Structure 1
Amino acid sequence: MIKDLNVKVGPQFYRYSEGAIDIIPELLQEHAASCILIVHGGISWEKAKPFLTKVINLDKKIIYEQYKGECSYNECYRIAEIIKKNKIDFVIGVGGGKLSDLVLHASHLTNTQFGIIPTLASNCAPWAPLSVMYKDNGLAEGKTEHVKRQAAFLITDPALVIDSPVNYFIAGIADTLAKWYESDLILEQEEFSDEPFLQMARYAARMCKEKVLTESEKAIEDMKAGNISDEFVHISEIIFAIAGLVGGLGDKYARNTAAHSIHDAISAYLPEVHVYLHGEKVAYGILYQLALEKKWSTIDELIPFYESLHLPKSLTEMGVYPMAESTLSNIVKLIDNKKKVHLLPLKVNEETLTTALIDLENYLNK
């Protein structure tokens, strides 16, 4: 029996369909919202506004604030001050993953209800009860803020999401694929075989992998053509909802391990990788985790998929390897300091983490 499992299933209300955003005024009424702050991006906000007509025209006080592009502590505190100063009782975030994380943490700081309208499918940030923190300059902070609240709603329209950059969608596909590989070794252990929520998390993680590997290429083609197909809806929904459900049901046992840990580490110590999106760096992280597990045949199986989506496979490919020994040491130390990586039923220490990184570069670039 697990005594420390925290199940945070997801937003109170979820809908992803044509015209879904029109239900938001009804939900705001349900939450007795009277003074609303809408935090938004730039280009994404211009694309989202036509979908938000019923919200914008509400007979309520609405304040609009454009965020500065990063989910940093400074930006969270800035938004929190706006919430306090204007006595906001409901926050709506309209944008991508960093904006979702920002709204969650600012709302946590001020104990304010919030809802999320994703404008793209690039990760599970709209669903997950955590915020990945960055510095103001875009480098990883190396910290994740976990909270015990989740969104009052997660609502969006596939007609809005399909009009977002394709490379973000592909990055989201990679980030979602990691859900299986990061939780597989942990959840397959005998001690967890009878744990209901962990096995539900495992089922959701398996769905992430199977759908991504079978439907992604068609979904990408349809996105490029502006065709809201079943495959596009399935994959985008799996990216921001089902992927979030994995960690929501399984908590630390089904959340980030080696793939995300090395994402955080290279983002903290290699400024050159900032040009890659979160999911693109996690794609490399999946292969790193498989190298740590010595599953070279699985790496071989994934390479054609990676190449078809133009995902980075190695640090050499990203132009940051070889690197100074001190940099490699810092990267490995940061990974080793992550508690979740030590949930893997493997020998995980600075030596094995270093070996996996070097072996992967040698294997992929031989």
Structure 2
Amino acid sequence: MNTEFEDSRGIDKCMVETYSNRRKMSLISRVVDIPLFLHIESECIEKIGDILSQNNLLFKNVLLLSGDTTFKAAGRRVVDILTGLGKSVDVMRIPDSTIETAERVRASIKDSNYNVVIGVGGGKVIDVGKYASNLEGINFISIPTTVANDGICSPVSVISYKKEKRSIITKTPIGVIADLSIIKDAPIRMIRAGIGDLLSNISAVKDWELAREIKGDNFDEFACLLSSRAAESVLISDSNDILSLEFLNKLVGSLTLSGISMGIAGSSKPASGAEHKFSHALDVISKNPALHGEQTSLGLIIATYLRGDDWERFVSIFGHWGIPTKAKELNISKEEVVKALIFAPKTRPDRYTILEHIKINEKKAIEAAEKTGVI
């Protein structure tokens, strides 16, 4: 008994000394910006009232952003539910994601007493909503009707300025409500693009690792782990039906994690590398740019080849799910692909990728695009 008593006193003394030492040190912590709530299921739009009340979001004045098609698909229903709960809802139609449209939304927020902005629609609607609400300091809720990219929950808005797309750091939405019954009804091309954008994370993380090794770039292990695991969860999926609710649930969840990884990193680096530079270059060069996720799919194949990794694996997986692997499938010419690869480093000169590492030129661009079958 005496021994036990002495041992416990020793432990108590040690604990007191440890706590005392802790008080002399400043605690190191990290603030991570993630949504307050996330709901991914069929018919969850019908639960929007319960979702808001459960999270103590008692706002009265709502600005709802939507497109013409997406308003019919989901926006009208959201308005009906919110007005039925006694909330005042104004609707603004979003035709594009230009700076002019984004500034009009911002001006509307500034001139009114809105408590929250809700974006019901695709990438353009959500990007405009994140941009305007962030600058005016009010909360934004994302209700995606398509999942063509990871913008549904990222702290980044892609805004067109003078016909050039620019990625602008904003803020992660306070909540995401992804109704799978609505997303399932979107064109399948959008879902395929979302898969392509997500899987490009694998390439982006490798580029950031390269930038750390060669340039001493600050590297966020946690953000990259989240980004990679999000992509791999879909990559290893054995589903043959990308319209199944099980697959869509996994895809939306993974795209959400991809967006959160950017918030953790304070940068788009965990989800944007050479393949995204290639897509941004195509937006500038191509006469008929394809969907962002479709273009990053091609960029992923080429970037993987340039690293000497297994690019054929992605060609096989994309083919299995009907995702384009050839430029001609997207009405993009051979010349545009080559020019885009050469121009790509200029889209983000501060971001070191495999393109800069190998000093991409016309000869290397043609070889990579031809060997992979992209052209």
TM-score using structure 2 length: 0.79
What corresponds to 1:17 in structure 2?
A: 41
CA RMSD after TM alignment: 3.2
> Equivalent residue of 2:365, what SS?
helix
Quote the offset at 1:102 in angstroms.
0.5
Q: 1:50 to 1:190 in 2, by over 3 A?
A: closer
Distance 2:351 2:364 in 1: 14
What corresponds to 2:351 in structure 1?
A: 341
Higher relative contact order, chain-length normalized (CA < 8 Å, sep 6+): 1
Where in structure 2 are the equivalents of 1:163-312 lying within 5 Å?
163-187=185-209, 198-215=220-237, 217-222=239-244, 228=245, 230-239=246-255, 241-252=256-267, 253-273=269-289, 276-295=290-309, 298-312=310-324
Structure 2: stretches of 5+ with no match in the other structure: 1-29, 214-218
Structure 1: stretches of 5+ with no match in the other structure: 1-5, 192-196, 223-227
The one of 107, 122, 134 equivalent to 1:96 is: 122
> Equivalent residue of 1:63, what SS?
strand
**1:323 maps to 2:332:** no
> Which structure has the bigger radius of gyration?
2
Q: What code does the residue aligned with 2:318 have?
A: Y
Asked if structure 2 preserves the Cα contact closer than 8 Å seen for 1:208 and 1:238, the reply is: yes
Distance 1:87 1:56 in 2: 17
Q: What code does the residue aligned with 2:166 have?
A: K
Quote the offset at 1:181 in angstroms.
1.6
What corresponds to 1:143 in structure 2?
A: 166
Name the % identity.
Answer: 19
Q: 1:316 to 1:163 in 2, by over 3 A?
A: closer
The one of 122, 131, 135 equivalent to 1:105 is: 131
Q: What code does the residue aligned with 1:145 have?
A: I
**1:364 maps to 2:372:** yes
Distance 2:291 2:238 in 1: 18
What corresponds to 1:87 in structure 2?
A: 113
Q: What code does the residue aligned with 1:248 have?
A: G
Quote the offset at 1:213 in angstroms.
2.2
Q: 1:71 to 1:308 in 2, by over 3 A?
A: same
Count of matched residue pairs: 338
Q: 1:92 to 1:190 in 2, by over 3 A?
A: closer
